Amino acid sequence: AGGGRCALSRCPAAAQRWRSGRAMGAPAGGPRDTAPGQQLRALFYALPPAESSFRTVEEVPDYVEKSIPFFLTFIGLEFAVSWIQKRKLPGRINDGISSLSLGILSRLPDVLFRSIELISYIYVWNNYRLFELPWDSPWTWYLTLLGVDFAYYCFHRMSHEVNILWAAHQVHHSSEDYNLFTALRQSVLQKYTSWMFNLPMALFIPPSVFAVHLQFNLLYQFWIHTEVITKLGPLEWILNTPSHHRVHHGRNPYCIDKNYGGTLIIWDRIFGTFEAEDEKIIYGLTHPVNSFDPIMVQLRPLAHIWNTFWATPGFCNKLSVIFKGPGWGPGKPRLGLPEEIPVITGKEVPFNPHVPAYLNCYTLVHFAVIVDLYTELLSSLIMITQGTVLLRIGFIILSLISFGLLMENKSKAGILEIIRCLVFIGAYKLGYLRTQFSFLGYAYEV
């Protein structure tokens, strides 16, 4: 990004050529927008303004979708490096499938509805904007970088300090492993509150510029979910790094409510929420959910808030259950008492029910089938009816629940799995479910 700034600010002629080329509304970078090199650099927020500025939202590439091959590549690379460094893999099958299940589940509403973040932003822009910054100015690009990241810091901090927001955000923290799978572990509900924090920018920043940085901010946070990268020297002062984000995911007392930054760590340093990595970090929630069922992981904290709300006397106290911190109780400070955070011994054992190896293999293979069906659903949306879309989404959710119960070795998991397989056979035979790989159709039925 620094290179882009130099090229445009130090060379007025180059800037003028770029603006004149963009004036006709051609996507920045032209055909280069789909180049693998650009997709890779987008993952590290390394596309300068000249390559990533667009007149309209419709021209903005889906950087997240284009980065999926790099997600898989980096996950494979993390496994290889971890094995070389420590002679062990960076995670477990059950936790990895759980993270990917939650990632798929979080994206399913987008199949049915347009992103609420963009809908609300465009509505405010169209009806209430105060003035309009030029979409093709490098200064607008850099201002949006800072604005989106600061809005993320504010939302992220509130998600830890307001109980009802934490009930959604805790999904991302529920893994007791820390690897690139964890980055994909997202909440279904979180996006329905995060959009509000971006609206002030809609008063003056064009939606197309916002749409680019919303994706870049998300993509950047993928690669920092790893233990194989240690320290990054002077970059640690400015950027959010794997070291800083490991602290954020820790449940050690010194890690709680620290390092909220998305791309930049400067906000934490400014507002006093920064903490450097120190002792060995134990990951996960202070009170683990202990489940691989994606629906249970999503809803159990909400059920806890509901029960606490009705059990707490006094109207003001009931409101505090919702809007104060997760550790709050009558007579306590807003964020609870630090001494009540469970002590970490370093001997904590992650939730890891014993499951036969063949069952892990079975779940892994069937999960791969669901990923195929999910990908095919995304690619065929415009060609299938709404009813078929709903049926496919329902089957995917049923499958993810079944896999979670299988990995927990629950007694009723086998019955649910038999029902799921029968539903698959019926829906597949009737043409409601399709694979991207037609030559595997018979294998899927078997």
Task: Give the tens place of pLDDT for each residue, 156-177.
Answer: 999 999 999 999 999 999 999 9
Tell me the percentage of the chain whose pLDDT exceeds 90.
78
Cβ atoms of 396 and 360 within 8 Å: the answer is no
22 Cβ contact list (under 8 Å, min separation 6): 28, 53, 55, 136
Nearest residue to 280 via CA among 242, 249, 252, 240: 252
Average pLDDT over residues 318-339: 94
Identify the bridge partners of residue 173 per DSSP, sorted by sequence position.
Answer: none
6: pLDDT strictly greater than 80: no
- By the 10 Å C-beta count (0-12 exposed, 13-18 middle, 19+ buried), 335 is classed as middle
Domain boundaries along the sequence of the chain:
37-271, 294-336, 357-443
More confident residue, 150 or 411: 150
Cβ atoms of 186 and 173 within 8 Å: the answer is no
428: pLDDT strictly greater than 60: yes
Residue 233 token pair? 């020297």
Residue 102 token pair? 């939650």
Each residue of 89-115: pLDDT tens digit?
889 999 999 999 999 999 998 888 878
pLDDT of residue 275: 97
pLDDT of residue 436: 87
Rounded to whole angstroms, the Cα distance separating 61 from 24 reads 18
380 Cβ contact list (under 8 Å, min separation 6): 434
Residue 28 binned pLDDT confidence (cut-offs 50, 70, 90):
very low
pLDDT of residue 345: 87
Average pLDDT over residues 178-183: 96
Rounded to whole angstroms, the Cα distance separating 119 from 401 reads 30
Tell me the percentage of the chain whose pLDDT exceeds 70.
92
The mean pLDDT value of the chain amounts to 90
379: pLDDT strictly greater than 80: yes
Instruction: Report which DSSP code applies to 55.
Output: S
Nearest residue to 122 via CA among 216, 202, 209, 204: 202
2: pLDDT strictly greater than 60: no
Residue 366 token pair? 């069937």
More confident residue, 39 or 271: 271
Average pLDDT over residues 388-402: 96
- By the 10 Å C-beta count (0-12 exposed, 13-18 middle, 19+ buried), 310 is classed as exposed
Rounded to whole angstroms, the Cα distance separating 279 from 349 reads 18
Cβ atoms of 225 and 153 within 8 Å: the answer is no
Each residue of 118-140: pLDDT tens digit?
999 999 999 999 999 999 999 99
Average pLDDT over residues 324-339: 93
pLDDT of residue 34: 56
Rounded to whole angstroms, the Cα distance separating 223 from 74 reads 8
Distances in Å between the Cα of 420 and the Cα atoms of 21, 32, 184, 369, 394 are: 54, 44, 25, 13, 11
163 Cβ contact list (under 8 Å, min separation 6): 305, 321, 322, 323, 324, 325, 326, 328
Weakest mean pLDDT among 24-28, 46-50, 253-257, 307-311: 24-28
The dihedral region occupied by 431, where left means phi > 0, alpha psi between -120 and 50, and beta the remainder, is left
15: pLDDT strictly greater than 70: no
Distances in Å between the Cα of 186 and the Cα atoms of 116, 168, 172, 218, 399 are: 16, 9, 5, 11, 18
Rounded to whole angstroms, the Cα distance separating 286 from 255 reads 11
- Alpha-helical segments (H) within 198-349: 207-220, 242-249, 266-271, 294-311, 315-323
| Sign of the dihedral defined by the CA atoms of residues 307, 312, 315, 319, in that order | negative
Q: Is 250 helix (H, G, I), strand (E, B) or coil?
A: strand
- The number of C-alpha atoms within 13 Å of 3 and in the hemisphere containing its C-beta is 6
Cβ atoms of 174 and 292 within 8 Å: the answer is no
First to last CA, the chain: 51
pLDDT of residue 33: 47
